[in-house]
Structure 1
Amino acid sequence: MILIGALLNGIGVSIGTLLGSLLRRIPDSMKHTVMNVMGLAIIVMGVQMGFKSENFLIVILSLAIGAVIGELFALEDKLTNIGGWLEKKIGSNKEGSISQGFITGTLVFVVGAMGIIGALDSGIRGNHDVLYTKTIIDTFVALILTTTLGIGVLFSAIPVILYEGSIAIFATQIERFIPQALMNSFITEITATGGIMIIAIGLNLVGITKIKVANLLPGIVVTALLVSIIYGFKSHF
């Protein structure tokens, strides 16, 4: 089932929120340890994905060009600014606690490379491993957010399902217009490129780096373009 990854991610956020509403106080040392373990697991998964590349030059070029585009448009900064602006607007609202929990949760769970890469993987390959991993992470993060922001975090499960589900459904239609050989190359190189981004997410969670992963997302598009160019060149010669 194409949508199972997205659905489980939304369910995970809901479960985390409900648990968070029951557990008011969680030791900081426990939060730190669990987040580090998750970060290490994500790094290992990203490494496995990265090794799938058949032409690592494509991955390197995609990430480099994608990073330049992302930095030029300051994608992560813009997303952060939008979130800050929304939270300030909501802050004066009487329903601020619920609204703030909803907006913050949505930004945390939706924005980022892992959701996009995982949804693409679900749609193109029918592989939900990335979204399963994201579900585990989001469940714990939802629990922590709920202890500080309240039950409003629960409502962020809805945009998570809609967002990841839409990407997964769109990805299934790609195969109708692209030759199988080209599709195989797409899957291989996009998986590898996404794997490097996932390593960055893991390093950020562990606290080793502060990479602006959202600024790397254009690399996914660049990968598709480079693979298409190489495929077209080989087809004519």
Structure 2
Amino acid sequence: MPIGVIINSSAVFFGGLLGSLLGDKLPAKFKMELTLIFGVCSMGMGINAIILMKNMPAVILAIVLGTGIGLFVHFGRWIDRGAVLMERPISKLLPRKTKNLSDTEFISALVTVIVLFCAGGTGIYGTLDAGMTGNNTILISKSILDFFTAAIFACNLGPVVSAIAVPQFIIFYIIFLLAKLILPLTNPVMLADFKACGGILMLATGFRIAKMKEFPIADMIPAMVLVMPLSWLWTTIVMPLL
């Protein structure tokens, strides 16, 4: 049962509704400073996962190679294009009512939110972790952040933010099902390194949310695919030779 996925999508849905009702009632300074707190919380979640690392060289190699692959094939750009395609039917279903943003600013902000909720490293890592281990801690913690993040964005974008919960649930549920197929091929060391790799992505996501540094989060996602095979190779082949 994808409890964590359901909670996460529900948080986005109800957070978007709350934000659309609040509208411009929240001051800009309040929204800006609360966003900084979201970033710090994401960093804390990342650090908590990183300390579980068993094979540091394998994790670092996965991050470097995975990001390199993502940048080479323009993985982040493909995700952006997918977000634009998702934005069009959502905007038709729930047209924006706010006039504070131009059409260009509105689309840019909405694409950012779609990528954040549907393709963020924290969500993918948390869903894989829930599917593999049954531990929903990451997704539930992310849900708290997503509820308030959706509310803040919906203050400017309107109820369209709530509709993002639908594609988010579909994407995360597919990832959840795939994770159950991967679990029999893993061991505790591989899972620990997988969590540590996801923690690095969460740390980078925190920097981006806080607008301290624009890490290429989407391009880093392939590292999540590489880290467990590299962890296995390091443990079974490299370590015995050292």
TM-score (norm 2): 0.83
CA distance in 2, matches of 1:235, 1:53: 15
User: Conserved in 1, the CA contact under 8 Å of 2:10 and 2:165?
Assistant: yes
Q: Alpha carbons of 1:56 and 1:230: their partners in 2 closer, same or farther (altered >3 Å)?
A: closer
Structure 1: stretches of 5+ with no match in the other structure: none
Q: Which of residues 206, 210, 214 in structure 2 aligns to 1:206? A: 210
Q: Does 1:222 align with 2:221?
A: no
CA offset at residue 212 of structure 1?
Answer: 0.8
Of 129, 153, 161, which residue of structure 1 is paired with 2:161? 153
Unpaired runs of 5+ in structure 2? 98-106
2:96 corresponds in structure 1 to 97
Instruction: Measure, in 1, the Cα distance between the counterparts of 2:82 and 2:2.
Output: 28
Other structure's SS at 1:175 match: helix
Distance in structure 2 (CA, Å) of the matches to 1:92 and 1:236: 56
CA spacing shift, 1:126–1:108, aligned 2, 3 Å: same
Where in structure 2 are the equivalents of 1:64-213 lying within 5 Å?
64-84=64-84, 96-97=95-96, 104=111, 105-176=113-184, 178=185, 182-213=186-217
Counterparts in 2 of 1:18 and 1:62: CA distance versus 1, 3 Å = same
Go from structure 1 to structure 2 and tell me whether the alpha carbon gap of 1:91 and 1:12 turns closer, same or farther (over 3 Å shift). closer
Letter in 2 for 1:155: A
TM-score (norm 1): 0.85
What secondary structure sits across from 2:23 in the alignment? coil
Query: In the alignment, is the contact (CA less than 8 A) between 2:83 and 2:114 conserved in 1?
Result: no
**Contact (CA 8 Å) 1:106, 1:157: kept in 2 or not?**
no
Q: What's the CA shift string for 1:194-234, capped at 9, x where partnerless?
A: 11111000111122111011111111111122123245538
| Secondary structure of 1:201 counterpart | helix
Summarize the Cα distance change of 1:226–1:163 in structure 2 as closer, same or farther, 3 Å threshold.
Answer: same
Partner of 1:19: 18
Of all paired residues, the percent bearing the same amino acid is: 26
Superposition deviation, residue 19 in structure 1: 0.9
Q: Deviations over 1:108-139 (max 9, x none)?
A: 31021111100011011222122112212221
- The answer (yes or no) to whether the contact 1:106–1:156 under 8 Å persists in 2 is yes
Number of residues paired by the alignment? 229
- 1:62 and 2:62 matched: yes
Counterpart of 1:24 in 2: which secondary structure? helix
* Runs of 4+, deviation exceeding 4 Å: 84-87, 89-96, 234-237
